[in-house]
Amino acid sequence: MNNAFALHWASQNERHCMLLNYIQAAMNRGKYEILPEDEGIYGEVPDLRGVWANAPTLEACRQELQEVIESWIVIKLRHGDTDFPVLDGIDLNTTHVEESPINEQVA
């Protein structure tokens, strides 16, 4: 493996790990509420504006919430937003959108 390829791979791998860690940090901030009259579970991440989910069970709500977080990140990256909240010291605002593995996968 040549040095340029190794550096590119390491850089992509580091960004991928950063995104996974950010998603996990967001999930750890999730707040859940049992809705009245068997309407299921409501979950949100207060630090991430507009990120919420609703599902019949806690596990389904957590899964839906993670999918919403992932979509929220992709949309913000695609729009070039630089106002990601820093979670657990992870600052997505310092990454370059054009180099993001998410942006490459969605494009």
72-104 pLDDT, tens digit each = 999 998 998 999 999 999 999 875 444 444 444
pLDDT in tens, 48-66: 999 999 999 999 999 999 9
SS (H, E, C) the chain: CCHHHHHHHHHHHHHHHHHHHHHHHHHHCCEEEECCCCCCEEEECCCCCCCEEEECCHHHHHHHHHHHHHHHHHHHHHCCCCCCCCECCECHHHCCHHHCHHHHHHC
Q: In the CATH hierarchy, which top-level class contains the domain 3-106?
A: alpha beta
